[in-house]
Amino acid sequence: MEFLPDISFARKTDSEDPLRSFRDKFFIPKSSKGEDIIYFAGNSLGLQPKTVRAYVEQELEDWESMGVEGHMHAKNPWLPYHEYLAAQTARLVGAHKEEVVNMNSLTVNLHLMMVSFYRPTKERHRILIESNAFPSDHYAVQSQIKFHGFDPAESLIEMKPREGEFAIRTEDIESLIEKEGSSIALVMFAGVNYYTGQAFDFDRITKAGHAKGCIVGFDLAHAAGNLELKLHDWNTDFAVWCSYKYLNGGPGAIAGAFVHRRHLLDIAIPKLWGWWGQDKATRFLMDHDFRPIPTIESWQLSNPPILQLAALRASFDIFDEAGMSTLREKSLNLTGYLEFLIKHKNDNNIEIITPSNPAERGCQLSIRAKTGGKTLHKRLNDSGVICDWREPDVIRAAPVPLYNTFTDVWKFVEVLFS
Ligand SMILES: *Cc1c(COP(=O)(O)O)cnc(C)c1O
């Protein structure tokens, strides 16, 4: 798309946007003046689909009128409720139905996956992650290393970008894995780094890891609902994500997990057991022999929160209607337009640290102000923009193709440079 800097271009593009009706499916928060806020924080908490209430109310009504009978007789029986989301989840991350499940929360799922896939030995005990990975991921990998009796000082490799750069080059990841791979048990990268907005090359990282016998897992917190993913084809061993960011599942939404098909029947893989992982046909015999479901559902421990699943389902129905490839197409233009306008202002206090190659990013641009960043962020907030500030000096702005517009982008840049 050829961009132009004036607002008439933004308005015209919005009017021709094939996804323009989707904004109406969401509640857009209002400013104190009663105007729609410019909401660029969908990377932090996605907005509420208007249909969520009805989906959740259905389950509240059935609980009200049936009590426990709802497990079998609710309009959407609760017993298999998580199964209703499997095909949609699989489409979102590029997987087969049996490879995905919605359960728990992100950090919990990361731990459950590491119980299964981080099995350190004396020779191979290290975990490779990006140095600026999200703190919870750092805590999780450190504690797993310690749990197995190893020392993070030796067993954790934190990969940094080159001096003076913000993104980590794929060739540097490949050569590090090539060099150190035989001591690395697990390569654990974000799909999209929360701070820089860099999207990693799943395919190349996975191939590099596998070539050295490492397990390769991804944290898709900032990638699910943002990028077009092909977890199965990439041969990813496992992945986890939360559903309250781009997936609009609501605060603290139930999270997701992926395990590649080739691992699903491998009984040598250790796993924590709970009754929701037990064979469905005989679960209620209440015996004490664990017969795992032959899908990723065998990682489930508890019966899931139905109200959470209902909310997520409302959002997934919208994703299905829009289609991930159409969303990505708009996203490339929307974020491209944001970059174009910022560069057009030619202000040398402002720098974009997110890669300029569209294939290496999703919705988000991380905008670094060399001076006065916090003041700038406050001005944005005071002017009806919601985007976030990440220490030490980055404003993250994520125009989301489901509900943001080119006009939002234009107005944001006007405030940024006002
Ligand atoms: C948002 C985010 C989290 C948050 O973890 P929860 O377990 O959902 O609270 C963890 N890791 C990454 C990479 C994130 O972006």
Binding site membership of 297 for ligand 1 (Cβ less than 6 Å): no
Q: Where in the chain is the domain with CATH 3.40.640.10?
A: 58-319
111, 106, 50, 58: which is closest to 81 by C-alpha? 58
Per-residue pLDDT tens digits for 101-139 = 999 999 999 999 999 999 999 999 999 999 999 999 999
- The DSSP element (H or E) to which 351 belongs, if any, is strand 350-352
Exposure class string for 59-89: b at 16+ Cβ within 10 A, else e? beebbeeeeeebbeebebbbbebbeebbebb
- How far is residue 26's CA from residue 315's CA, in Å, rounded to a whole number? 10
Q: What pLDDT is attached to residue 78? A: 98
Angle subtended at Cα 364 by Cα 361 and Cα 369, rounded to the nearest 5 degrees: 110
Amino acid at 141: V
Binding site membership of 219 for ligand 1 (Cβ less than 6 Å): yes
Q: What pLDDT is attached to residue 331? A: 98
Q: What pLDDT is attached to residue 146? A: 98
Q: How distant is the alpha carbon of residue 384 from its chain centre? A: 26
What is 7-36+323-416's CATH number, 3.90.1150.10, 1.10.3720.10, 3.30.450.20, 2.60.40.10? 3.90.1150.10
Residue where the block lists tokens 């999780």:
140
Q: Do you find a cis peptide bond into 152, omega within 30 degrees of 0?
A: no
Residue where the block lists tokens 């397990």:
215
Q: Are the C-beta atoms of residues 140 and 205 closer than 8 Å to each other?
A: no
Q: What pLDDT is attached to residue 55? A: 98
Per-residue pLDDT tens digits for 132-167 = 999 999 999 999 999 999 999 999 999 999 999 999
Specify the residue with its C-alpha closest to ligand 1, atom 8: 106
Angle subtended at Cα 22 by Cα 17 and Cα 25, rounded to the nearest 5 degrees: 160
Q: What pLDDT is attached to residue 418? A: 87
Cα(121) to centroid(ligand 1), Å: 28
Binding site membership of 134 for ligand 1 (Cβ less than 6 Å): yes
Cα(42) to centroid(ligand 1), Å: 14
Q: E strands of 83-183, at which residues?
A: 100-102, 126-130, 156-159
Specify the residue with its C-alpha closest to ligand 1, atom 13: 134
Binding site membership of 130 for ligand 1 (Cβ less than 6 Å): no
- How far is residue 72's CA from residue 74's CA, in Å, rounded to a whole number? 6
The partner residues of 128 in beta bridges, in order of sequence, read 157, 187
Binding site membership of 107 for ligand 1 (Cβ less than 6 Å): yes
**58-319 architecture in CATH?**
3-Layer(aba) Sandwich (3.40)
Q: What stretches in the chain show pLDDT beneath 70?
A: none
Binding site membership of 190 for ligand 1 (Cβ less than 6 Å): yes
Closest atom of ligand 1 to 242 CA is 8
Q: Where in the chain is the domain with CATH 3.90.1150.10?
A: 7-36+323-416
Ligand 1: which of 105, 129, 136, 248 to mutate, most ligand atoms within 8 Å of CB? 136
